[in-house]
C-alpha cells in the first residue's frame, strides 16, 4: 500500500479511509460474502473493530468515530455546480479539517504520547496531551457538525455496551424534527436496513432510544443485550436539567444559543465522572450569530479560557499574532469550503480566502456595516471574527480584538504583556498627598479580565503610567462608575479609569494610565479609592450621578473640588430643553449612553501618529487594560459593562473640555505634516531609483 500522504503532509490517497462507502455506492451492499459465512462474520467483526479502535492504512490513521462517519453515515452533501451549490444525500467526503477535529476529540478524552501526536501531522497545536478533558468548538456555518455529532452518537449506540449518551440543546428545535436527534435516528434506520449494526429497540421514542432485547428466563422477562441509550434534552430556562445522569458522551448542540451555557455545562459535568476519573466526555460546538447578542458571552468565555473549564486547550493559530495564547478548537470558513478542496480533502485555503474577501468587499461597497458584520460573523476566518456578536455595538471590534491579542501575548515565562506594563499598587495617604506603593510580592489580586475567576472581589488599583509632577488640575481626568448597593447579590462592580490629559505636555498623553475594578464590602471603600486616585493624579472625577453616595462621600471629606461639573453643553446637544440640573457628574440616560458610545468610537479611532512603515497608530492601540478591551468588544445596551460605563463618564469629561477642540486641530495638522513628509520621502526615493535606469 502506497503512502496516503506525501512528504509535505498533503493527502494523496485518502479514499483508502472510505473504501466501504465507495464499495456501497458502487454495489449497493457492503459485503458480498453470503450471509452467515465465516467471511461475512469476519467482515463485520473487522468493521466493528475499526469503528471502535480506528483504522490505520498507508502510514496514516483515523479515529473510530471518523471511520464510522465516513463509511456508515449518510448526510446531506453540498457540492458546487458552476457557481451554484446543490445538496444531495450521500456518504461524507474526507476533509482534512475533519481529520484534525476527530483527533482532537480522541486526544481530549484519552490523551496521547507526544511521539504519536507528532506522527499525526495535525494542522492544530494541542497544548495538553494528558486526556480526561472536554472539547468546545467554534466554527463557521455549514461545516456539518450536527452530522458528525449524530454519527458519533449512532456509533456509540450500535458498537458500544452499556453507554448512556445525551444530546442537549437550548431549544428542541436543534433536536428534532430536523435536528441532531432526528439525524442520529436516520443513521440508525440506514444501519438497520443495510448493515449488521442493526439493533433491536427496547425504547424508540422521539427523545429516547435504547437498544436491547427482552428474554424470558425461568418465566421472568428481563432486558438484555447492549442496552445503550441516546437521549435528547432541551435545557431552555433550566440549566440544572441534566443533573443526576451518568453519561458516556454528551453533545451540547449550538452552544452559542445557550443563555445559561456555563451553568448547564457545570451541571452536566459530574455526569461524566469526578476528579481524576472521567468516564465520559462533553462536546460543545457553536456558531456565533449577529442575532444572539449576549447569549454568546458564556461560549466566548469558555472558548478563550479552556484550561479554566477543563477543556482541551490549543495554541491559537487562528487569530493573528496569538500563537502564544491558548483557546479552543476552531473550524474556520476556509476549511472544507465547497469548491475549494480537492478530491483528497486538501483545502485550497488561499483560494477560499480570496473568494470570501472579494464577497466581503462587494457587501461593504453596497450595504451598511450591519450587513457586513452579519456576513463576517457567520463565515469567520478566525475566532476574533466569529465573536463580533453585538448588532448594537458600533465599536471597531476587529481592531479591538487585535489589540487584545497583542497585549495578551505571553513571554517565555508565560507572563502576559499587560501584566508587565501594569503595576498593582496600594494607595496610601501621606498628609495631603497620596503615594503609590508597588506590590512587589504579589499580595494584591487585580481583576484584569472581564471573565476572570474572581476569588477576591476587592480587586486592586493598577497603574500603567504614574503622574507627572506639578501637573495642573484637570490635566488628568477620571471616569467613575460606582456600584449602587452594598448587598452582595448586586452583580455590579465599581470601575475607575484614569486618563492622561489631552494637552500634549509630555508627548504621549490622550490615553488611559490607571484603572481600578472591584467590589469591596462597602461602597465607601470604592469612593475612598477614587478620592486617593484623584489626589494622586490631581484629577477631576466625572461619575454616574444617579449614585448619590459618591457625592456625599466627597462632600464629607471636603473634597468636592475634585468632582466634575455636569457636562451641560454635551447634554444640551443631545436632549433639547433638558431639565436635569445636577451640579456634579452625569446621569446616563439611554440617549446619553448612545451619545457617549459615539464619543468612545471617535476617540478609539483617532489617529495619533504614523509609524515608520506608514501604519496609523490610534488611541485604541494605547490601551493596556484587557478587561476594558473585552468589554468594548462585547458591549451591548442590555448587558452589564462597568468598565465601559466608566469610559462613558470619561468621554463626557473629555468632550466638555475646551482643550478638546484645540487638540483636534493640532492632531489634524500633525497628521497632515507626517503624511506630507512621508509622501515627499517616497517621491524622492522613486525618483532616485528611476534615475539609475
Instruction: Please say which residue of 92, 107, 127 terminates a domain.
Output: 92
Dist CA 371 CA 385 (whole Å)? 14
Closest CA relative to residue 387, chosen from 303, 263, 265: 303
Q: Is residue 165 part of a domain?
A: no
Q: What is the pLDDT at residue 221?
A: 84
Confidence of residue 2 (pLDDT cuts 50, 70, 90): confident
Q: Which residue has the higher pLDDT, 83 or 428?
A: 428
Residue 532 has pLDDT above 90, yes or no: yes
* Same-domain status, 524 and 585: yes
With cell 484629577, the residue in question is 539
pLDDT in tens, 261-274: 888 898 899 999 86
Dist CA 667 CA 656 (whole Å)? 18
| Number of structural domains the chain divides into | 3
* Same-domain status, 459 and 504: yes
Dist CA 48 CA 29 (whole Å)? 16
* Same-domain status, 604 and 675: no
Instruction: Please say which residue of 92, 108, 139 terminates a domain.
Output: 92
* Same-domain status, 506 and 643: yes
Q: What is the pLDDT at residue 565?
A: 86
Q: Is 14 exposed, middle or buried (0-12, 13-18, 19+ CB in 10 A)?
A: buried
Mean pLDDT of the chain: 86
Q: Quick one: average pLDDT of 100-119?
A: 96
Instruction: Please say which residue of 59, 77, 92 terminates a domain.
Output: 92
Q: Is residue 74 part of a domain?
A: yes
- Coil, helix or strand for 510? coil
Q: What is the pLDDT at residue 79?
A: 66
* Same-domain status, 641 and 585: yes
* Same-domain status, 641 and 666: no
Q: What is the pLDDT at residue 474?
A: 84
Q: Which residue has the higher pLDDT, 647 or 223?
A: 647
Q: Quick one: average pLDDT of 454-482?
A: 89
Q: What is the pLDDT at residue 689?
A: 54
What is the number of helices (H) and of strands (E) in the chain?
22, 27
Dist CA 124 CA 101 (whole Å)? 9
* Max mean pLDDT range (160-174, 361-375, 382-396): 160-174
Asked if 632 and 398 touch (Cβ cutoff 8 Å), the reply is no
Q: Is residue 266 part of a domain?
A: no
Whole domain around residue 66: which residue ranges?
1-92
Q: Is residue 631 part of a domain?
A: yes
Q: Is residue 373 part of a domain?
A: no
**Phi/psi at 562 (5° precision):** -85, -10
Confidence of residue 1 (pLDDT cuts 50, 70, 90): low
With cell 479511509, the residue in question is 17
* Same-domain status, 613 and 528: yes
Q: Which residue has the higher pLDDT, 568 or 530?
A: 530
Residue 358 has pLDDT above 50, yes or no: yes
What are the helix (H) ranges across 367-489?
369-378, 383-386, 397-407, 417-421
DSSP string, 265-282: HHHHGGGGEETTEE--EE
Sign of the CA dihedral running 188, 193, 196, 200 = positive
Confidence of residue 380 (pLDDT cuts 50, 70, 90): very high
pLDDT in tens, 578-601: 555 567 888 878 788 888 999 999
Q: Is residue 212 part of a domain?
A: no
Closest CA relative to residue 567, chosen from 600, 550, 543, 546: 543
Residue 571 has pLDDT above 80, yes or no: no
* Max mean pLDDT range (283-287, 564-568, 573-577): 283-287
Q: Which of 115-129, 418-432, 653-667 shows the lowest per-residue confidence on average (mean pLDDT)? A: 653-667
Q: Is residue 273 part of a domain?
A: no
Q: What is the pLDDT at residue 112?
A: 96
* Same-domain status, 535 and 578: yes
DSSP 17: G
Q: Is residue 444 part of a domain?
A: yes
Q: Is 1 exposed, middle or buried (0-12, 13-18, 19+ CB in 10 A)?
A: exposed
Residue 138 has pLDDT above 70, yes or no: yes
* Same-domain status, 437 and 495: yes
Dist CA 468 CA 471 (whole Å)? 6
Confidence of residue 650 (pLDDT cuts 50, 70, 90): very high
Confidence of residue 466 (pLDDT cuts 50, 70, 90): very high
* Same-domain status, 472 and 570: yes
* Same-domain status, 517 and 559: yes
Q: Which residue has the higher pLDDT, 162 or 455?
A: 162
Q: What is the pLDDT at residue 685?
A: 59
Q: What is the pLDDT at residue 574?
A: 66
Residue 511 has pLDDT above 80, yes or no: yes
Dist CA 593 CA 574 (whole Å)? 11
* Same-domain status, 483 and 570: yes
CATH number at residue 553: 3.30.420.240
Amino acid at each position: 500500500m502506497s503512502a496516503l500522504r506525501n512528504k509535505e503532509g498533503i493527502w494523496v490517497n485518502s479514499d483508502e479511509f472510505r473504501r466501504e462507502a465507495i464499495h456501497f455506492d458502487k454495489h449497493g451492499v457492503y459485503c458480498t460474502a453470503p450471509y452467515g459465512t465465516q467471511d461475512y462474520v469476519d467482515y463485520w467483526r473487522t468493521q466493528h473493530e475499526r469503528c471502535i479502535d480506528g483504522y490505520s492504512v498507508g502510514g496514516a490513521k483515523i479515529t473510530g468515530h471518523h471511520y464510522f462517519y465516513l463509511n456508515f453515515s449518510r448526510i446531506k452533501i453540498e457540492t458546487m455546480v458552476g457557481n451554484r451549490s446543490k445538496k444531495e444525500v450521500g456518504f461524507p467526503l474526507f476533509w482534512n479539517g475533519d481529520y484534525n477535529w476527530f483527533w482532537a476529540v480522541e486526544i481530549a478524552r484519552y490523551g496521547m504520547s507526544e511521539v504519536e501526536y507528532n506522527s499525526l501531522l495535525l494542522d492544530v497545536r494541542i497544548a495538553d496531551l494528558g486526556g480526561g478533558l472536554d472539547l468546545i468548538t467554534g466554527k463557521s456555518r455549514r461545516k456539518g457538525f450536527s452530522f458528525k455529532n449524530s454519527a458519533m452518537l449512532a456509533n456509540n449506540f450500535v458498537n458500544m455496551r452499556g453507554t448512556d449518551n445525551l444530546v442537549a440543546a437550548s431549544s428542541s428545535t436543534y433536536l428534532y424534527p430536523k435536528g441532531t436527534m432526528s439525524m442520529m435516528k436516520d443513521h440508525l434506520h440506514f444501519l438497520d436496513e443495510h448493515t449488521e449494526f442493526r439493533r433491536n429497540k427496547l425504547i424508540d421514542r422521539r427523545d429516547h432510544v435504547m437498544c436491547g432485547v427482552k428474554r424470558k428466563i425461568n418465566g421472568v422477562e428481563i432486558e438484555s443485550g447492549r442496552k445503550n441509550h441516546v437521549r435528547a434534552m432541551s435545557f431552555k430556562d433550566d440549566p440544572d436539567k441534566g443533573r443526576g445522569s451518568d453519561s458516556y458522551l454528551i453533545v451540547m448542540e449550538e452552544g452559542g444559543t445557550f443563555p445559561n451555557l456555563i451553568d448547564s455545562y457545570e451541571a452536566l459535568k459530574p455526569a461524566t465522572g469526578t476528579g481524576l476519573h472521567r468516564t465520559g466526555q462533553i462536546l460543545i460546538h457553536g456558531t456565533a450569530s449577529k442575532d444572539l447578542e449576549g447569549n454568546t458571552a458564556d461560549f466566548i468565555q469558555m472558548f478563550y479560557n479552556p484550561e479554566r473549564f477543563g477543556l482541551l486547550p490549543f495554541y491559537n493559530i487562528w487569530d493573528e499574532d496569538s500563537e502564544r495564547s491558548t483557546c479552543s478548537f476552531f473550524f474556520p470558513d476556509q476549511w472544507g469550503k465547497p469548491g475549494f478542496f480537492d478530491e483528497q480533502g486538501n483545502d485550497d485555503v488561499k483560494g477560499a480566502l480570496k473568494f470570501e474577501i472579494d464577497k466581503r468587499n462587494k457587501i461593504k461597497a453596497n450595504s451598511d456595516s450591519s450587513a457586513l458584520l452579519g456576513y463576517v460573523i457567520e463565515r469567520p476566518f478566525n475566532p476574533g471574527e466569529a465573536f463580533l456578536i453585538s448588532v448594537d455595538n458600533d465599536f471597531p471590534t476587529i481592531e479591538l480584538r487585535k489589540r487584545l491579542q497583542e497585549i495578551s501575548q505571553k513571554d517565555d515565562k508565560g507572563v502576559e504583556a499587560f501584566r508587565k506594563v501594569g503595576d498593582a499598587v496600594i494607595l496610601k495617604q501621606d498628609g495631603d498627598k497620596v503615594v503609590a506603593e508597588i506590590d512587589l510580592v504579589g499580595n494584591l489580586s487585580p481583576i484584569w479580565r472581564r471573565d476572570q475567576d474572581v476569588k477576591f472581589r476587592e480587586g486592586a488599583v493598577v497603574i500603567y503610567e504614574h503622574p507627572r509632577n506639578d501637573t495642573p488640575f484637570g490635566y488628568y481626568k477620571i471616569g467613575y462608575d460606582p456600584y449602587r448597593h452594598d448587598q452582595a447579590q448586586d452583580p455590579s462592580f465599581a470601575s475607575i479609569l484614569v486618563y492622561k490629559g489631552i494637552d500634549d505636555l509630555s508627548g504621549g498623553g490622550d490615553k488611559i494610565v490607571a484603572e481600578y475594578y472591584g467590589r469591596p464590602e462597602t461602597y465607601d471603600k470604592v469612593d475612598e479609592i477614587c478620592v486617593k486616585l484623584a489626589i494622586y493624579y490631581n484629577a477631576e472625577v466625572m461619575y454616574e450621578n444617579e449614585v448619590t453616595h459618591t457625592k456625599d462621600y466627597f462632600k464629607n471629606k471636603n473634597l468636592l473640588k475634585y468632582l466634575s461639573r455636569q457636562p451641560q453643553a454635551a447634554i444640551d446637544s443631545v436632549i433639547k430643553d433638558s431639565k436635569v440640573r445636577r451640579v456634579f457628574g452625569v446621569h446616563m440616560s439611554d440617549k446619553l449612553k448612545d451619545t457617549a458610545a459615539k464619543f468612545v468610537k471617535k476617540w478609539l479611532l483617532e489617529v495619533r501618529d504614523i509609524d515608520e512603515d506608514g501604519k496609523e497608530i490610534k488611541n485604541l492601540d494605547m490601551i493596556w487594560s484587557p478587561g476594558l478591551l473585552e468589554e468594548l468588544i462585547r458591549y451591548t445596551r442590555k448587558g452589564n459593562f462597568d468598565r465601559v460605563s466608566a469610559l462613558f463618564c470619561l468621554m463626557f469629561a473629555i468632550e466638555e473640555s475646551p482643550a478638546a477642540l484645540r487638540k483636534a486641530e493640532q492632531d489634524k495638522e500633525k497628521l497632515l505634516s507626517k503624511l506630507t513628509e512621508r509622501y515627499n520621502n517616497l517621491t524622492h526615493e522613486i525618483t532616485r531609483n528611476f534615475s539609475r535606469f
